Amino acid sequence: MPALFSLSLLIAACQPEAAPAPTVTEPAPVADTAPTPAPAPAPVQSSVSAAFAVTGDHINAGTGTLPADIKEFAAGDSVYAQLMLDGHAASSTVTLHWKDATGAEIHTAEKATAVAGLTPVIFDYRPDAGWTPGTYALVFDIDGKPSWELAFTIR
């Protein structure tokens, strides 16, 4: 019987091995979140402010601005007023209120302009009958909001 047992072992050893059972592989996990989209571009801010204001007696042809800040004028002079805007806006409206010494409004002018960085807005005025001696005020509004005030004198 030991021979039979040895023969059984020998036969079993010569038998080809059974192929391993195929292993089931799990698919790679799918991410629960979608890819993050690129951030939307920030909107262009439309903000404009007054950088400074001056009065003068003429516009410099080379620069398109007032060359000096003059505060005293003669009765027959045209008075120029410049507000330098700073900011960015497709359109901004500047209103200039000309007021006499009592605070009464004697003239109003309005200009709309695109603003990209420093942008000058210039007004000029001379009453038909000339100026009455005294002190006058200029009040600049930007888009309906008071932004700067200047004074000048007529001798």
Q: Is 110 part of any domain?
A: yes
Q: Is 23 part of any domain?
A: no
pLDDT at 53: 96
Read off the pLDDT of residues 21-50 as tens digits, 9 standing for 90 and up.
Answer: 555 556 555 555 656 665 554 444 459 999
Q: Is 10 part of any domain?
A: no
The whole-model pTM stands at 0.70
CATH of the domain at 78: 2.60.40.10
Q: Is 6 part of any domain?
A: no
- Which residues constitute the domain of residue 66? 47-154
Please determine, for residue 71, whether its predicted confidence score (pLDDT) is greater than 50. Answer: yes
SS (H, E, C) 83-119: EEEEEEEEEEEEEEEEECCCCCEEEEEEEEEEEECCE
Q: Is 132 part of any domain?
A: yes
Q: Is 141 part of any domain?
A: yes
Q: Is 29 part of any domain?
A: no
Q: Is 32 part of any domain?
A: no
Domain count, the chain: 1
